[in-house]
């Protein structure tokens, strides 16, 4: 049996320097208990004192109601941003039209956001802006990536149409159908005309010459030894159709506003 006084001394063993539980003092008390219990088997060697100190620390933790060290809080999980709106001008003319783009996004963590745009290979930054586009595919994709700088990202995309006179066009001619291979540079349109019915090819001079405005208003002239034709029309939002009318003469035929549809061939 451990005497009550020694048990009390063990439980309330304190470091005399600061009043906190002291393992060395507790080991001394524990040694007195063991000596009283079995004096013959107890030896206050250095090894024994170390062992007693370790046991005392455990006993003090239990006796003093010592609490376990608090666990670390779980790591904070970064929440990705969310794109709430995105828009871009749906149709315009190559090199001429200003395409307006804009977007907004929110972040659950309140992080600062960056906006990166990819317009089929043309890059831009910021939540909004304007840009013109050069020759290329008629239908293009605008991709927006919003980043919070901590690995969180959100993406979205929109398609838009860039109309261009560059390419092959076909239209019903006075007798059959004529083809044009055209190029556009800024607002200027030029190229060659081929009448499918007889293989006429007016390349020079001057073939086909005309203009296109940023609103898609088209006018071009087909000239040759026996024809003076003018086409006036407007490109529709597909970028592949021009609805208009023909004026002028073709051999002994005259045209005064007959309707004419010109369509773009291929991609």
All structural domains of the chain with their residue ranges: 4-63, 82-163, 167-264
Q: What is the pLDDT of residue 28?
A: 57
Taking residues 83-88, what's their average pLDDT?
Answer: 97
Kindly report the CATH number that applies to the domain delimited by 167-264.
2.40.128.120
Strongest mean pLDDT among 6-15, 134-143, 224-233: 134-143
Task: Measure the CA–CA gap between 212 and 72, rounded to whole angstroms.
Answer: 68
pLDDT at 249 over 50: yes
- With beta carbons less than 8 A apart as the criterion, state whether 9 and 63 touch: no
User: Both tokens of residue 26?
Assistant: 């507790």
What mean pLDDT is predicted for residues 195-218? 75
Q: What is the mean pLDDT of residues 220-242?
A: 87
pLDDT tens readout for residues 121-173:
899 999 999 999 998 889 999 999 999 999 999 999 999 999 999 999 998 66
* Predicted local confidence at residue 2, as pLDDT: 44
pLDDT band at 257 (very low <50, low <70, confident <90, very high): confident
Q: Is the pLDDT of residue 8 over 50?
A: no
What is the arithmetic mean of pLDDT over 79-95?
96
**pLDDT of the residue at 89:** 96
pTM recorded for the entire structure: 0.66
Q: Scanning the structure block, which residue is given the tokens 């006993």? A: 59
Query: What top-level class would CATH report for the domain 82-163?
Result: mainly beta
Q: Parallel, antiparallel, or unpaired: how do β-strands 153-163 and 91-93 relate?
A: parallel
pLDDT of residue 171: 83
Cis peptide upstream of residue 45 (ω within 30 degrees of 0): no
Contact 124, 143 (CB under 8 A): no
Average pLDDT of the residues in 12-29: 51
């Amino acid at each position: 049996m451990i005497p009550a006084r020694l048990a009390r001394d063990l439980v309330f063993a304190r470091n005399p320097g600061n009043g906190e539980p002291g393992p060395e003092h507790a080991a001394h008390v524990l040694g007195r208990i063991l000596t009283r219990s079995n004096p013959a088997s107890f030896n206050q060697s250095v090894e024994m004192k170390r062992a007693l100190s370790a046991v005392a620390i455990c006993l003090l933790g239990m006796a003093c109601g010592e609490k376990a060290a608090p666990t670390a809080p779980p790591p904070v999980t970064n929440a990705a941003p969310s794109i709430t709106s995105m828009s871009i001008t749906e149709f315009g003319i190559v090199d001429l039209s200003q395409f307006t783009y804009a977007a907004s996004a929110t972040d659950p963590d309140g992080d600062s956001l960056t906006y990166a745009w990819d317009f089929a290979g043309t890059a831009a930054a910021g939540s909004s802006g304007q840009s013109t586009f050069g020759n290329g595919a008629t239908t293009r994709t605008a991709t927006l990536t919003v980043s919070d700088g901590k690995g969180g990202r959100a993406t979205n995309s929109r398609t838009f149409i860039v109309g261009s006179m560059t390419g092959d066009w076909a239209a019903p001619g006075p007798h059959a159908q004529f083809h044009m291979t055209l190029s556009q540079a800024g607002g200027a349109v030029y190229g060659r005309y081929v009448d499918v019915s007889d293989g006429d090819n007016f390349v020079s001079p001057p073939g086909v010459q005309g203009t296109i405005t940023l609103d898609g208003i088209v006018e071009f002239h087909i000239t040759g030894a026996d024809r003076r034709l003018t086409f006036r029309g407007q490109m529709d939002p597909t970028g592949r159709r021009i609805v208009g009318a023909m004026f002028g003469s073709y051999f002994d035929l005259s045209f005064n506003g007959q309707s004419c549809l010109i369509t773009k061939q291929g991609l």
